Each structure stands twice: as structure tokens, then as C-alpha cells.
Structure 1
């Protein structure tokens, strides 16, 4: 999946395709979050703090897998 770099202290890059959100963290780990709607991805990109958005709106609500 193509990811785009983001300005964050915890997330290096993000990508989204067909409901799968892929996050590359600064520690090098990559996770895929499943069934994430496109508006949630758009809100993530627009968030003032990507890390805080991930912790509040992504991690507690979507199943994930390490890549």
C-alpha cells in the first residue's frame, strides 16, 4: 500500500485503501487497521495531532494486524 509521510512524533506515514488504514510508526512497526471508513482517514489527516487521533479514534475501535 502506498503511504504518505505525515508530520507526527509517533506516526511516520499513513495510507488507506478499500477500508484498510495502514500506519507506519516512527519505531518502524507497521499496522493495518481494518474496516476504517474513508471519512475517518480524512479526519486523521486533518487532525491537529495525528498520534492523539490514532489513540482516541483508531486503536480502541478497529481491529488491527501487524504487517
Structure 2
């Protein structure tokens, strides 16, 4: 489970079996569970120079989410 040095996202993990992405945010904690997310988006999030910007542009408001 990757941990980030991001000002927005503390860590993320992905479950291939359920296609769920779990994200822990710096300010609000988590995990927030995003459903039916393709693995490639998780991989790109991990590789992004700005985790917060990638999340906002490609994940936020695009997938159903369960919040803590």
C-alpha cells in the first residue's frame, strides 16, 4: 500500500478483485472507498507528480464512493 508525500493524499491501496480504490486524505482521513475504478487509474495516481491534482481530474466525482 503506497504512502505518498502529498499535501492532499496520505496513502492509497487498490483491490484488483473488487476494483476498489481506498484513499486516505491528509485532512479528512479515510479510507474513502471508490468503486469500479480501473487499475490503470490507481497506477497513474501513484505515478502522478501531483496526487491531489490527478485525483481531482480523474477520480473525484467520477466514481461511487463510500465515506467513513
Question: Which residues of structure 2 form unaligned runs of 5+?
Answer: none
Structure 1 residue 44 displacement after superposition: 0.6
Equivalences for residues 47-62 of structure 1 within 5 A: 47-62=48-63
State how 1:1-67 maps to structure 2 within 5 Å: 3-18=1-16, 19-27=19-27, 28-67=29-68
Using the TM superposition, give the Cα deviation of residue 56 of structure 1 relative to its aligned residue in structure 2, in angstroms. 0.9
Q: TM-score, normalised by structure 2?
A: 0.86
Structure 1: which 5+ runs fail to align?
none
Length, aligned pairs only = 65
Q: In angstroms, what is the RMSD of aligned CA positions?
A: 1.1
SS at match of 2:58: helix
Normalised by the size of structure 1, how large is the TM-score?
A: 0.88
What displacement does 1:12 show?
0.4
